[in-house]
Amino acid sequence: MKNMFDIMKQAQQLQSRMQSLQAELETAEVEGRAGGGLVAVVMSGKGEVKKVSIDPSLMKEDEREVLEDLIVAASADAKAKAEELAAEKMKSVTGGLALPPGLGL
């Protein structure tokens, strides 16, 4: 029975660390850039867009499509960085063990 107690204790510790990780990712920020830095998107570690910065040189009507494409590209870059950050943090919590699908962040 002691073995089952140890397993339950470890599960509670893991749950506590996961909650801490979730809170940390809420406040962490990553920045994605596109167009040589002309467009930047800041996201939380959970993928929530916090800020978009656009270089004034792109604020021309004939540059609208380029600007739209750069915003999408910068968002994708930031999202990839947020996912990478979450994976790194998760690895530190789980000791490198992969979680089953559906149990990730």
pLDDT in tens, the chain (105 residues): 578 888 888 888 888 888 888 888 888 899 999 999 999 999 988 888 999 999 998 888 888 888 889 999 999 999 999 889 888 888 877 676 655 555 554
Please, where are the H alpha helices in the chain? 2-27, 64-94
Domain with residue 40: its CATH number is 3.30.1310.10
Exposed / middle / buried, residue 2 (Cβ in 10 Å: 0-12, 13-18, 19+) = exposed
Give me the number of domains the chain comprises. 1
Asked, for residue 7, whether it belongs to a domain, the answer is: yes
Global confidence as pTM: 0.65
Domain of 14? 2-93
Asked, for residue 20, whether it belongs to a domain, the answer is: yes
